[in-house]
Structure formats: C-alpha cells, structure tokens
Amino acid sequence: MRVSDVLSLLAAGAPEAEILEDYPYLTREDIVACLQYAAAQADHAIVIAA
C-alpha cells in the first residue's frame, strides 16, 4: 500500500480503526509514518517575489 493510499483514506474520512481493520498488515505506526511523511513533504520554503 502506498503512502498516498493511506492519506487518501484518511482524507476521505476513514477512521484509523477502520483502516487498520480493512488492512490488517498496517499498524498505527504505519499510519503515523504516512502523516509524518506528508507533513515533511509539505514543509518547504515559500518564496515571494518582491
């Protein structure tokens, strides 16, 4: 399962418990890691041209 798949499920409102039930090979730590990865990817400098 890709990080984007987990993020899409979360964005669609799927509760963590439901994701873990539907995908028993995932752990809570996997979901947290996906969120941490997404946060790191979104953390970049914004350059404003003056």
pLDDT by residue (tens digit) across 5-29?
Answer: 999 999 999 999 999 999 999 999 9
Reading the block at residue 7, the tokens are 């993020």
- Name the residue ranges covered by the structural domains of the chain: 3-42
Model confidence at 43, in pLDDT bands (50, 70, 90)?
A: confident
**What separation in angstroms does the CA of 43 have from each of 20, 31, 40?**
27, 19, 5
pTM of the model: 0.82
pLDDT of residue 4: 97
Higher confidence at residue 24 or residue 43? 24
When the pLDDT of each residue in the chain is averaged and rounded to a whole number, the result is 94
Measured between alpha carbons, how far apart are the two ends of the chain, in Å?
43
The SS3 of residue 21 is helix
Query: Using an 8 Å Cβ cutoff, are 19 and 9 in contact?
Result: yes
Q: Who has greater pLDDT, 22 or 46?
A: 22
Please state at what angle helix 28-42 crosses helix 3-11, rounded to 10 degrees: 90
